[in-house]
Amino acid sequence: MLFSPFEPDRIEAHRRRFRAIPVRTLLPNLITLLALCAGLTAIRLASEQRFEWALYAIVFAALLDGMDGRLARMLKGTSRFGAELDSLADFVNFGVAPALILYQWGLNEFKSVGWIAALVFALCAALRLARFNVLAEDPNRPAWAANFFVGIPAPAGAITVLLPLYLELLFPHLPHYVLVMPLAFVYTLFIAFLMISRLPVFSGKRVGKRVPPEMVLPVFGAVVVFFALLISYPWEVLTIGTLAYLACLPLGLMSYREQERKAAAAVAASNTMPEGESAPALAPSVPASDGPERPARLN
């Protein structure tokens, strides 16, 4: 333009401030978007009464959710944008989608009461994710507390809350109302409560970061066997896994209290040390939200 309203030099300088984005930062976000597509597809499949495929989609989304954050840390592609995208995807995949699946499957027989149960579960998932985003930035969190979640995580909540569907697919001869009436309604509210509770849940994120050379092949074999069983006997594996997960929740609470006692003993020992000697300060023993999983990406 002959008479440009802007200074050309300033426009060129402004453009130079935007650098090309490395592909390694895009790949984890693409996996998150793929998981979001799986969650949205699960909602569609549930509306079409294709509940088996809807469950497959939720499990697939949960597997992808466990991959994106780890991949981002491996590639050093963490970003704030990835953290926010992951939180939104988790709310849809593990809050909205399971609630709608349960409602379409059987809670709708309760009319408005069934819708309230589905609504409570979705809202509890949102509250849990919001609490995580706040607690993840707590600078006073002790290092040992990073091994624990506060309440069950959203992906685990989505997998466990669908237990009534697994049971019906395992035992199709049972009358539908036998599962819906006594189990699905109360069970949905129970899992929703566990998500927003302060129950310390062992995360296991720091377990198995490095594998001894002699254990590489056994680990590969175990993973292959697990996925083979999951594909061949999905409802049996998901039912047993859900029941085992719920049964192990008290173990996380006991482990957390043991760590808390050790931290308190260390503080007491440091207070009784002679003057002139110092002990490393310990942060208050407050359970972590989800450990460093998402903040490191920030997932």
**Residue of 68, 72, 10, 81 whose CA lies nearest to 34:** 68
Residues 6+ apart with CB under 8 A from 73: 296, 297
Angstrom distance (rounded) from CA 298 to CA 35: 17
Residue type, 147: N
Angstrom distance (rounded) from CA 60 to CA 37: 10
Q: What is the pLDDT along the chain (299 residues), one digit of tens a residue?
A: 555 555 555 555 555 555 666 777 788 888 999 999 999 999 999 999 999 999 999 999 999 988 877 777 777 767 788 888 888 999 999 999 999 999 999 888 888 889 999 999 999 999 999 888 887 666 677 666 677 788 899 999 999 999 999 998 998 887 777 666 678 889 999 999 999 998 888 876 655 567 777 777 888 898 899 999 999 999 999 999 999 999 989 888 888 788 878 877 777 777 775 555 554 544 444 444 444 344 444 34
Residues 6+ apart with CB under 8 A from 116: none
**What's the pTM value of the predicted model, to 2 decimals?**
0.79
Q: What is the pLDDT of residues 190-236, one digit of tens each?
A: 999 999 998 888 876 655 567 777 777 888 898 899 999 999 999 99
Angstrom distance (rounded) from CA 161 to CA 213: 38
Q: Which secondary-structure segment (H or E) carries 217? A: helix 216-232
Provide the residue ranges of all domains of the chain, joining segments of one domain with +: 22-205+223-267
Angstrom distance (rounded) from CA 224 to CA 88: 31
Top CATH class, 22-205+223-267: mainly alpha
**Residue of 84, 94, 151 whose CA lies nearest to 295:** 84
Six-digit token string for 49: 């009464």
